[in-house]
Amino acid sequence: MKPSRYNVFIDLEGGRKLAFNGLSATLSEIYPENASLVARLMENSSQPATEDEKEIYQALVDGRYLVEDELDELEFLKVRNRRCRFDKNAFFLTIAPTLGCNFSCEYCFENQRPGRMNAETEQAIVKFSEKYMKKAEFAGVIWFGGEPTLCVPTIERLQNSLRELAEKCGSRFDPASIITNGFLLDGKLAERLKGFGVESAQVTIDGPREIHDRRRKLHNGSGTYDRILSNLTESSEILKIIVRVNVDRQNVDNAFAVVEELDKKGILPRVNMHFAQVHDSEGVCADIAKHCLATEEFSVHLTGLYRRLIDSGFYRIEYPSLTLGGHCGADTDGSFVFTPSGDVFKCWEDIAIPEWSVGNVFSEELTPRQEANLLKYLGWDPFEREECVSCSILPICMGGCPRQSLEKGRRVGSCTSWKYNLKEMLTLRYECDLRKEVI
């Protein structure tokens, strides 16, 4: 046996250590009294003798901290990645029933268009989906926009049609989620959504009232903060809610105020927090580049935000998950984004740029441009990039966002915050577990 190339060790106070393995996403604590034994076993300089030593040795093997001498982990990762990316067992749809929105957000990457999906497009999406559902063991839907809650009847019809199709094809149809600005998501709408299979929602709040209302306002300039918080009070009792805070230089010092306000109103225990990095894009938000935090900067702020969340008594923190297939649906064979016109994309940020489509639900033929776009995403390969291949977090990153690399012509992957704050975030996760045990 030999040590995995994806081991990360973290020194703690009192001689304790944490061990993380990227290939299994396993986090373990090494007690001080076992540290020297673990070191010897990892160096292959001794074999376990006692029952206790054999138990520790087996834990190192089970967690993939130790792997077979003959195993080429990089080749294993490459094969696993390609199998999952092109596996027909999963089918995922992101559907935007409209590109219109009741908000005018300063960093939006979309060119808003008021049209809504018609019945013909709904039927064409179901027909498009059938050939994938027949092969898929499970399928899932994310409702996107524009603002999808402007088109609830469309969502309901399509949700029911896709569920019926899944039953017909023998495919498991997972509960759907919706990405919404939350302005219309009151308790009544939450109940309706849950009734036809939409069980979770992501809602964005970008800071305290004065900051949020400047960044996420109605077209007439009116604020949206108070109504969203009122809606969250009701909807978080019904749906699983993730509150997203888009973080850039303009609001980074006030991002935690969202947590404090949700706590004050009694909402925080019922939601999960997600702090997200704002990126510039080829869309209409390209002029905000000067406000965007570099990923390394963002990772430092992210650690600080979760540190404050934990200190406030809420022991929930993001944890690195295995990226078995592609980084996201964009570089995965069985994942598509649909617009109201029936255009098909691989990445939802592309829907502002019709030239980046990879097809249309009304035609089985691809234009040369559409085929080229599709091949760019499906041909994206982090294993062709030396920096990615040598990176210790490759299994939990897989080259990062393919769109960002393709858009900017990068010869390396688009690094995620895990590259810069993995040890700090894992330490916080360990602290969360300790505090839960004390409680």
What does the pLDDT look like over 85-142, one tens digit per residue?
998 899 999 999 999 888 877 666 556 667 899 999 999 999 999 999 999 999 999 9
Give the pLDDT score at 286.
43
Judge whether residue 287 has pLDDT over 60. no
Tell how strand 240-247 and strand 359-360 pair up.
Answer: unpaired
Report the chain's mean pLDDT, rounded to a whole number. Answer: 90
pLDDT above 70 as % of the chain: 94
Q: pLDDT (tens digit, 9 = 90+) per residue, 48-59?
A: 888 888 999 999
Q: pLDDT (tens digit, 9 = 90+) per residue, 322-340?
A: 877 778 889 999 999 999 9
Most confident of 271-275, 276-280, 431-435: 271-275
> Which of 244-248, 251-255, 407-411 has the least mean pLDDT?
407-411
Instruction: List the domain boundaries for the chain.
Output: 2-71, 89-383+415-439
Give the pLDDT score at 112.
61
Average pLDDT over residues 255-261: 95
Indicate the fold that domain 89-383+415-439 takes in CATH: TIM Barrel (3.20.20)
Give the pLDDT score at 439.
43
Average pLDDT over residues 190-219: 94
> Which of 87-91, 164-168, 286-290, 412-416 has the least mean pLDDT?
286-290
Q: pLDDT (tens digit, 9 = 90+) per residue, 54-77?
A: 999 999 999 999 999 999 999 999
24 or 49, higher pLDDT: 24
Judge whether residue 308 has pLDDT over 60. yes
**pTM (2 decimals)?**
0.89
Average pLDDT over residues 27-50: 87
Give the pLDDT score at 349.
87
